[in-house]
Amino acid sequence: MNTLPHAARIPPDMLSEIADRVGTPAYVYDARALEAGIGRWIGPVGDPARISFAAKANTNLAVLSVLERAGIGIEVATPGELGRARAAGFPADRIVFGGVPKSREAIREGIHGGVGLIVLQSGHEVAAAIEHACESPGGELAAGLRVRPGIRAGAHPSLETGRADAKFGLAPEEVPAVWRQLAAAECVVPRTLAFHLGSGLEQIDPYEQALDLMLSLVHSLSDADAPVLELDVGGGLGVDYASESDPDPAALVRLLESRITGIPVKLRFEPGRSVVARAGVLLTRVLYRRERNGSPALVCDAGYTDFARNALYGAEHAIVPVHGELSGDPNVEVLGPTCESGDRLGTGRRLHGVRPGDLLVLRDAGAYGFVMASNYNSRPRPPELLVRGDAWRVVRPRESLEDLWRGEVAS
Ligand SMILES: Cc1ncc(COP(=O)(O)O)c(C=O)c1O
């Protein structure tokens, strides 16, 4: 069992009971681990309002409301995430509409929803925000600009977002003119410069490099009508899925705070994965065993439609039997049931003692797990459950077959 305080600790007998009563596959989150996960950030940052949990990592309402009760804010990428944040109890002024590509309609919805900050990342977003700013409920729109710092941060190529060729944000040299344009616009108060380097980062030096670039922009805008008040350093701090030690948010916060000593800006953090990844597991049952290329493979009832990270990024999460031990050579593949050969949960595992019907738990599945599930092969998405101490409850039921074709019309 993982002993990190922010890792789910769900007793095997409870997992068996859940499998019997709710079925498999199922996502199970541990409320205390979620609290510990956000606590790792609140401790060093101090003011919880300067943390905006990146909703994209896990948008289950029960998970969000556990985090909301810690007093933090939330970063949303779409009107859908904005709606979920509100439904989970986040007040509008604690919501950051983040710097990912947004349609004109999405920007208007965010403004009408009264978000506390909107981060703009292209000329068309800036134009839309200026057009609608006076419609914001308070009559004033707090705005930020996402900068593309041009830094390689060492993440999986699909998860690196701060490179010079990334599709996100403005190049540093574009920023001063756009900032001044916002400062001159009616009802707009530019406040924040933001960056997000990528997801799953193991090193903290790239943040320091990016922050230094932001500080040079702060300096060049010191004579603007609106000074830069806040630097949003995005999310991205990784989880070491192969071990039980993670990069420490406190080290990152200390490093970045030390760089802004004496400069009148505040920092904002948007962690997602590092808060919730360890707090959830995916429970699955083995359907059958087969030999492939002389090695055993376990075909499970969960597949890449439920948990996409191995198929998408080659991510290898710990997979352990709920009852029983790891044994034998590390050569067992764990596969999903769908019609794709690439449908895998893990490779090279010591799962020789596992038999059809046994339960497996895929650990550290609380981030980018359920949120990336699909209905491919018309598979209903799994249920989500929340455990607190010795009690558990379903916080999103398994989809029914009728859910799959709701709203469709047979012609
Ligand atoms: C703008 C922004 N902020 C924060 C995050 C959260 O990143 P992570 O879950 O790696 O902390 C993301 C993830 O893609 C993002 O795009």
Whether pLDDT at 91 is above 70:
yes
User: Does residue 196 line the site of ligand 1, with CB under 6 A?
Assistant: yes
Whether pLDDT at 162 is above 90:
no
Q: How many other β-carbons are positioned within 10 Å of the β-carbon of residue 17?
A: 12
Residue 150: predicted pLDDT: 87
Give the atom of ligand 1 at the shortest distance from the alpha carbon of 270: 4
User: Does residue 272 line the site of ligand 1, with CB under 6 A?
Assistant: yes
- Tell me the per-residue pLDDT of 221-257, one tens digit each, with 9 for 90 and over: 999 889 999 999 999 999 999 999 999 999 999 999 9
Average pLDDT, the chain: 96
User: Which position has the higher pLDDT, 31 or 201?
Assistant: 31
Q: Which of 73-87, 208-222, 287-301 has the lowest mean pLDDT?
A: 287-301
Predicted TM-score (pTM) of the model is 0.97
Q: How many other β-carbons are positioned within 10 Å of the β-carbon of residue 52?
A: 28
- Tell me the per-residue pLDDT of 171-203, one tens digit each, with 9 for 90 and over: 999 999 999 999 999 999 999 999 999 898 989
271 Cα: distance to centroid of ligand 1 (angstroms): 6
Residue 1: predicted pLDDT: 65
57 Cα: distance to centroid of ligand 1 (angstroms): 8
- Spell out a b/e string for 217-234, using b for 16 or more CB atoms within 10 Å of the CB, else e: bbeebeebebebbbbbbb
- Tell me the per-residue pLDDT of 345-379, one tens digit each, with 9 for 90 and over: 999 999 999 999 999 999 999 999 999 999 999 99
Whether pLDDT at 64 is above 70:
yes
Give the atom of ligand 1 at the shortest distance from the alpha carbon of 236: 10
Give the atom of ligand 1 at the shortest distance from the alpha carbon of 275: 11
Q: Give the percent of the chain with pLDDT over 70.
A: 100
Residue 28: predicted pLDDT: 98
Give the atom of ligand 1 at the shortest distance from the alpha carbon of 274: 11
249 Cα: distance to centroid of ligand 1 (angstroms): 14
Whether pLDDT at 205 is above 70:
yes
User: Does residue 236 line the site of ligand 1, with CB under 6 A?
Assistant: yes
Alpha carbon distance 280, 8 (integer Å): 6
Whether pLDDT at 305 is above 80:
yes
35 Cα: distance to centroid of ligand 1 (angstroms): 19
User: Does residue 336 line the site of ligand 1, with CB under 6 A?
Assistant: no
Name the nearest CA neighbour of 7 among 41, 37, 28: 37
Q: Give the percent of the chain with pLDDT over 90.
A: 90
Amino acid at 374: S
Q: Which of 33-47, 100-114, 153-167, 268-282 has the lowest mean pLDDT?
A: 153-167
User: Is 187 designated active site?
Assistant: no
- Tell me the per-residue pLDDT of 119-156, one tens digit each, with 9 for 90 and over: 999 999 999 999 999 999 999 999 999 999 988 877 78
73 Cα: distance to centroid of ligand 1 (angstroms): 14
- 115 neighbors 137 (Cβ within 8 angstroms): no
Q: Would you place residue 293 in the very low, low, confident or very high pLDDT band (cuts 50, 70, 90)? A: confident
Alpha carbon distance 75, 81 (integer Å): 9
User: Does residue 271 line the site of ligand 1, with CB under 6 A?
Assistant: yes
